[in-house]
């Protein structure tokens, strides 16, 4: 495999990983606040179709991305109301949100199927993009950079800011956080909104940059992969970035290997590896010495009823 | 047009339970328009397989107007669930039902036994019954036309082929394409990448990108989305569309597309069912009968390529050319089809080897 091919492989991996990473980061924050939202796929689809519709109607990429973010957040708000205010079961509500989002996106998208739009413009990084060979890696659209910046920002927020500490407290010990005066439900609601916005953004990346078009169900399961990445990353942002690049990278790698005819094992086996990895992580964090270090947020998926 | 979705069908299921029983005893013939039901495996907006079947439905409506009433159920899962949907269509008064995916076949046959007065049309299958006909397109003929174009247009001699699943239908297409391309340029190599999905635009695009990175200057696809044509356009190479004319996704990249054209068949079968001349049959037709059509040639098709494509197309229509006429060697060097021989349909459906020049 030549150096040029390797760069191409990395380039394709970056674009394949970006939607996964955006959605996974959002879900990571939601889960760190103690809420499990399985509706990522539905929110991604709704974001994808809303962004595409606005792009197709106005041709304004910034407006399209903002709409996608808003659409994802709006769908998340419904979820937030149901699980926080009405205390419905988070797993069931999340699944329902995915089904709802799939249907809703198909409905919104009926008039937009088959319409091509221009993809997001590439923004070359000055200096870096001029390097021969690897320079191509620094000539991407805004969302690819944004995803990487978001990893750093979220990692910093969770680790080093007061807000992040409060959010984690809410996810680890909701009752304690409540007893020292933090508005648990409000914080969770904001986290859910953020998760929806990021999922919407991930969806918009698919319909505006990755394959600039709208077709029903175009996420093809990426929302579920994002959920797997959060577990795989043991709820840490930088590991989520690694996970997204690994999941995206292996998919792309097996395609390249198939094309080169060098693959000694069936490609299905290779595609399976990231999921095996997820199961392995789940096994490790459930017992043994890793349990304390990598355990999920203690209040994950549990409804919180403020004591009266 | 009455659009019934699966959820509404589910709601109606209880109410229909009794009607279903009546349907067994009484022929499901109601006064008023002739009712036709359609079953699709994907969304009608997929711009591919299901989209083309729905175009056929619309053609029937346009042709017969008030004499017919059509309804469709989209995104029906193959397997047991389809049986329920077919039964509900039948008991709901449909007199002719088109089930348009391979995985609906056994369900259609089962329901057909309970509704002998209802006619069934099964797209892509291999079993028939007195009231079940089967129809399919010889898409490999279209692949041969594409191959003739690719043989002339490809400069690098490497052609990328994005496959869904390695089933005979897809393998047959790869082989017909490669044979036709190598007839023009014996140095042609076809690289196949399986994405193991009928529909995943992102993955299809990634596969196309990796093929382009590995030197392919034409991308051929046997998956259901238009992502390939779009990727080819963005990267400045050529591509063939699949199922429907995909030129709007890549005006420069699009060479041609294999278009599934069911309109005439659907109109003919509806007419037969209405006037009572409908008979059980098994139809596997291609370019000659118009089930397989080629989309208009794009700007990348040179004069030589166009001439070769037309020669292939007219040769197949006239019956003077068969894409699989021997000698055909597989990619391990074994002779699979003897010189001058042509394989029968049964052999085509068993193809599990690649011709010389395919790297899969």
pLDDT tens, residue order, chain B (360 aa):
445 554 444 444 444 443 444 434 444 444 689 999 999 988 787 778 888 999 999 999 999 999 999 999 988 888 888 999 999 999 999 999 999 988 899 999 999 999 999 999 999 888 899 999 999 999 999 999 999 999 999 999 999 999 988 888 899 999 999 999 999 999 999 999 998 887 788 899 999 999 999 999 999 999 877 889 999 999 999 999 988 888 988 999 999 999 999 999 999 999 999 999 999 999 898 999 889 999 999 999 999 999 999 999 999 999 999 999 989 999 899 999 999 899 988 888 889 999 999 987
Q: Is the pLDDT of residue A55 over 80?
A: yes
In the predicted model, what is the mean pLDDT of residues A6-20? 92
Q: What is the pLDDT of residues A157-205, one digit of tens each?
A: 999 999 999 999 999 999 999 999 999 999 999 999 999 999 999 999 9
In the predicted model, what is the mean pLDDT of residues A212-240? 90
Q: Which of B196, B202, B359 sits opposite A268 (nearest CB)?
A: B196
pLDDT reported for residue B3: 55
Q: Which residue of A has its CA nearest to B191?
A: A259
Q: Tell me how close the Cα of B202 comes to any Cα of chain A, in angstroms.
A: 6
Q: Which of B194, B197, B359 sits opposite A261 (nearest CB)?
A: B359
Q: Is the pLDDT of residue A59 over 70?
A: yes
Residue A258 contacts residue A278 (beta carbons within 8 Å): no
B206/A255 touch (CB, cutoff 8 Å), yes or no = yes
Q: Which of A116, A218, A251 sits opposite B206 (nearest CB)?
A: A251
pLDDT reported for residue B14: 42
B213/A267 touch (CB, cutoff 8 Å), yes or no = no
In the predicted model, what is the mean pLDDT of residues A96-119? 88
Instruction: Express as a percent the part of chain A with pLDDT over 70.
Output: 99
| Chain B, window 174-213: residues with a beta carbon less than 8 angstroms from a chain A beta carbon | 191-197, 199-207, 209-211, 213
Rounded to two decimals, the ipTM of the complex is 0.81
pLDDT reported for residue A209: 92
Which residue ranges form the domains of chain A, and what is each CATH number?
Answer: 3-294 (1.10.3470)
B196/A119 touch (CB, cutoff 8 Å), yes or no = no
**pTM (predicted TM-score):** 0.82
Residue A118 contacts residue B234 (beta carbons within 8 Å): no
Q: What is the pLDDT of residues B161-200, one digit of tens each?
A: 999 888 888 999 999 999 999 999 999 999 999 988 877 8
Q: Which residue of A has its CA nearest to B207?
A: A255
Which residue ranges form the domains of chain B, and what is each CATH number?
Answer: 2-137 (3.40.50.2300), 139-260+292-359 (3.40.50.2300)
Pairs of CB atoms within 8 A across A/B: 104
A217 touches chain B (CB under 8 A): yes
């Amino acid at each position: 495999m030549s150096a040029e091919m390797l760069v191409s492989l990395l380039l394709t991996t970056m674009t394949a990983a970006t939607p996964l990473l955006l959605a996974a980061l959002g879900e990571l924050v939601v889960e760190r606040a103690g809420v499990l939202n399985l509706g990522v796929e539905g929110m991604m689809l709704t974001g994808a179709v809303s962004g595409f519709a606005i792009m197709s109607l106005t041709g304004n990429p910034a407006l399209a991305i903002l709409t996608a973010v808003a659409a994802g957040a709006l769908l998340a708000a419904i979820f937030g109301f149901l699980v926080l205010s009405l205390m419905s079961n988070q797993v069931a509500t999340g699944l329902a949100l995915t089904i709802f989002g799939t249907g809703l996106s198909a409905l919104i998208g009926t008039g937009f199927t088959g319409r091509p739009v221009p993809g997001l413009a590439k923004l070359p990084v000055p200096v870096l993009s001029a390097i021969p060979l690897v320079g191509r890696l620094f000539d991407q659209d805004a969302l690819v950079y944004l995803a990487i910046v978001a990893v750093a920002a979220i990692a910093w927020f969770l680790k080093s800011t007061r807000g992040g500490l409060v959010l984690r407290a809410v996810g680890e010990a909701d009752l304690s956080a409540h007893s020292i005066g933090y508005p648990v439900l409000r914080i969770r609601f904001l986290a859910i909104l953020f998760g929806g916005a990021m999922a919407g953004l991930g969806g918009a990346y698919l319909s505006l940059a990755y394959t600039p078009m709208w077709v029903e169900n175009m996420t093809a399961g990426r929302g579920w992969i994002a959920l797997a990445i959060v577990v795989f990353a043991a709820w840490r942002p930088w590991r989520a970035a690694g996970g997204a690049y690994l999941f995206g990278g292996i998919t792309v790698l097996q395609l390249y290997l198939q094309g080169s005819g060098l693959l000694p094992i069936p490609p299905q086996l290779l595609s399976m590896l990231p999921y095996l990895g997820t199961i392995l992580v789940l096994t490790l964090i459930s017992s043994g010495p890793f349990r304390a270090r990598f355990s999920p947020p203690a209040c994950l998926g549990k409804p919180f009823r403020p004591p009266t | 047009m009455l659009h019934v979705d699966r959820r509404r069908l589910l709601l109606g299921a209880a109410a229909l339970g009794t009607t279903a029983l009546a349907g067994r005893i009484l022929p499901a013939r109601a006064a008023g328009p002739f009712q036709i039901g359609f079953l699709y495996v994907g969304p009608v907006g997929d711009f591919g397989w299901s989209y083309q079947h729905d175009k056929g439905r619309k053609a029937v409506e346009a042709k017969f107007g008030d004499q017919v009433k059509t309804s469709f159920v989209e995104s029906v899962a193959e397997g047991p669930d389809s049986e329920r949907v077919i039964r509900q269509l039948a008991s709901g008064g449909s007199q002719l039902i088109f089930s348009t995916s391979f995985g609906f076949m056994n369900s259609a046959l089962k329901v057909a036994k309970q509704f002998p007065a209802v006619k069934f049309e099964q797209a892509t299958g291999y079993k028939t019954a007195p009231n079940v006909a089967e129809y399919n397109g010889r898409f490999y003929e279209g692949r041969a036309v594409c191959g003739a174009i690719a043989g002339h247009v490809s400069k690098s001699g490497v052609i990328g082929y994005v496959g869904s699943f390695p089933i005979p239908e897809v393998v047959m297409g790869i082989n017909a394409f490669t044979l036709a391309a190598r007839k023009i340029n014996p140095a042609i190599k076809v690289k196949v990448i399986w994405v193991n999905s009928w529909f995943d635009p992102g993955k299809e695009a990634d596969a196309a990108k990796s093929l382009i990175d590995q030197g392919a200057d034409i991308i051929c696809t046997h998956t259901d989305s238009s992502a390939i044509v779009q990727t080819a356009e963005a990267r400045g190479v050529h591509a063939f569309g699949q199922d429907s004319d995909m030129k709007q996704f890549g005006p420069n990249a699009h060479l041609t597309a294999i278009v599934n054209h069911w309109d005439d068949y659907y109109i003919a079968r509806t007419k037969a069912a209405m006037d009572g001349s409908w008979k059980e049959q098994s139809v596997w037709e291609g370019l000659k009968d118009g089930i397989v059509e080629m989309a208009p040639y794009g700007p990348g098709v040179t004069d030589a390529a166009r001439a070769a494509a037309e020669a292939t197309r007219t040769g197949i229509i006239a019956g003077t050319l068969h894409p699989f006429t021997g000698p055909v060697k597989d990619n391990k060097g074994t002779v699979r089809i003897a010189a001058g021989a042509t394989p029968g349909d049964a052999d085509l459906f068993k193809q599990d080897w690649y011709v010389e020049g395919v790297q899969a």
